[in-house]
Amino acid sequence: MPVEAARRPATLDERIVEYVESVVRPQAAQMARGDEQRFPRYVIEEAGRLGLCGLLVPKVHGGSAGTHLDFARLIEATACACASTAVILDVQASVAIEPLVQFGSEDQRRRYLPRLTRGEWLGAFALSEPGSGSDAASLQTRAEHIDAGYRLTGTKMWITNAGAADLYLVMARTGGEGARGISAFLVEAERPGVRPGRPLRKLGLRGSWTAELHLDGVEVPAGNLLGAEGAGFRIAMTALDSGRIGISAQAVGIAQGALDVAVERIRSSGDRAVGDLDLLMATDAALRFAATGPLADMEAQVASSRQLTHHAAALCDAGRPFTREAAVAKLWSTEACVAVASTAVDLCAPDSTDEWHPAAVRLRDARACTIYEGTSQVQRMVIARELLRA
């Protein structure tokens, strides 16, 4: 349902509520099932209309100049209603747009930011390859010099929004082996040789597209190089530091959604062993714990995840180092999210054995969070390295 510009609410909180309640929640059940034929463009168009795609973009470039804390709240609220929508929006506003803000030339910002910020264009971040997922610095996609710029050849894999995106941020090798040989390019989808694969059939997050991206000798002008030659790996890692705050917020939202489903189920169950407080107060502690203990643990996991996410976001907003804190938040929140969603499935059983029960959907969605934008093992490596370096 389109949100009329004339009714555009004033505050960020109101805009988030408007987005979640008018746009996201009504379509959540449909989104969970996914559609490999038609990408849900409306989630980005409506977010653009409400100024949410450009939350991390300065006003001078048409953005809303919000903070990373604002962004974490937006992604959590969206993911609580629909995780698939949240990941589409997260990639757009974070790893696709933010590197342009941070590393783009004036010309690049002018060319791309307004359309991405308004939600007219969808962005994607193309780092991973079939032979290099966690070891990102070993990527093999090549960008060779040609007269007018560069020619890109290679295959990217597990790219969120691929197939629907209008602009890809592509990391490709302009130099020798290792991180310093990598550069970042802005590649428009309409360029000859840009060939996305079919969306993968995934365990969860089925409403968001994830696909391969083939680059068959794609020519881009020199003006499409983002930052300096050889700076691509640093650009990607900087984007992922911030992106991991978004995925952490996504996990908080999914976990909160799963907890809400479980609380509602227990409240409305009419099962005296679980739902009747008088009975619980009057009977033995073991029974009381069996009923309420899991809910309390879930709440502790959600609350601690939220605090870690907000802590990393606040450090980022303050311009302080936050690589370690973002990795801690992502590791903790995504692992907690899987545990919370799994407990929600237990508490909602047997109904939750239905494939489309909201707890089952959230458990599948949760599982992806421990994998993309750096697996839990990668987060542990980042955290340990930062500790040892300190």
Q: Which is nearer to ligand CAA, 53 or 91 (CB)?
A: 91
Q: Which is nearer to ligand CAA, 43 or 347 (CB)?
A: 43
**Phi-psi group of 154: left, alpha or beta (phi > 0 → left; psi -120 to 50 → alpha; rest → beta):** left
Minimum CB distance to ligand CAA, residue 381 (Å): 5
Q: Can 177 be counted among the known catalytic residues?
A: no
Tokens at 203, concatenated: 């365990």
Q: Which is nearer to ligand CAA, 181 or 358 (CB)?
A: 181
Q: Which of 81, 95, 171, 369 touches ligand CAA (CB under 6 A)?
A: 95
- DSSP E strands in 165-209: the ranges are 167-173, 182-188, 194-196
374 near ligand CAA (CB under 6 A): yes
Minimum CB distance to ligand CAA, residue 334 (Å): 12
Minimum CB distance to ligand CAA, residue 213 (Å): 10
* Half-sphere exposure (Cβ direction) of 29: Cα atoms closer than 13 Å: 5
Q: How many CB atoms lie within 10 A of CB 373?
A: 29
* Half-sphere exposure (Cβ direction) of 77: Cα atoms closer than 13 Å: 20
Q: Per-residue string for binding with ligand CAA, 206-235, x by CB under 6 A?
A: ---------------------------xx-
Q: Which is nearer to ligand CAA, 159 or 258 (CB)?
A: 159
Stretch that binds ligand CAA, among 52-60, 193-201, 288-296, 375-383 (CB under 6 A): 375-383
Tokens at 247, concatenated: 């995925």
Give dist(CA 347, CA 339) in Å, integer: 12
- How many residues in the shown chain lie near ligand CAA by CB under 6 A? 27
Stretch that binds ligand CAA, among 23-31, 103-111, 143-151, 369-377 (CB under 6 A): 369-377
Q: Which is nearer to ligand CAA, 71 or 372 (CB)?
A: 372
Cβ atoms of residues 152 and 172 within 8 Å: yes
Q: How many CB atoms lie within 10 A of CB 123?
A: 27
Strand-strand pairing, 182-188 and 194-196: unpaired
* Region 143-202 residues binding ligand CAA, contact defined as CB under 6 A: 158-160, 179-180
Q: Is 297 exposed, middle or buried (0-12, 13-18, 19+ CB in 10 A)?
A: middle
Tokens at 74, concatenated: 């937006």
Q: Which is nearer to ligand CAA, 308 or 378 (CB)?
A: 378
Give SS3 for 214. Answer: strand
* Residue of 351, 348, 311, 349 whose CA lies nearest to 328: 311
What type of residue sits at position 247?
A: I
Q: Which of 46, 241, 325, 365 touches ligand CAA (CB under 6 A)?
A: 241
Minimum CB distance to ligand CAA, residue 385 (Å): 7
Give dist(CA 277, CA 266) in Å, integer: 11
21, 264, 373, 386: which one is catalytic? 373
Q: Which of 64, 84, 92, 128 touches ligand CAA (CB under 6 A)?
A: 128
46 near ligand CAA (CB under 6 A): no
Dihedral angle over CA of 271, 274, 276, 282, nearest 10: 130
Q: Which is nearer to ligand CAA, 127 or 252 (CB)?
A: 127
Bond preceding residue 350 cis, omega within 30 of 0 = yes
* Region 322-361 residues binding ligand CAA, contact defined as CB under 6 A: 323
Stretch that binds ligand CAA, among 37-45, 69-77, 213-221, 238-246 (CB under 6 A): 238-246
φ and ψ of 212, to 5 deg: -75, 160
Q: Which of 156, 291, 373, 383 touches ligand CAA (CB under 6 A)?
A: 373
* Residue of 151, 150, 149, 127 whose CA lies nearest to 140: 127
136 near ligand CAA (CB under 6 A): yes
* Residues of the shown chain interacting with ligand CAA in the complex, contacts defined by CB under 6 A: 91, 95, 125, 127-128, 134-137, 158-160, 179-180, 233-234, 237-238, 240-241, 323, 372-374, 378, 381-382
Catalytic positions are 373
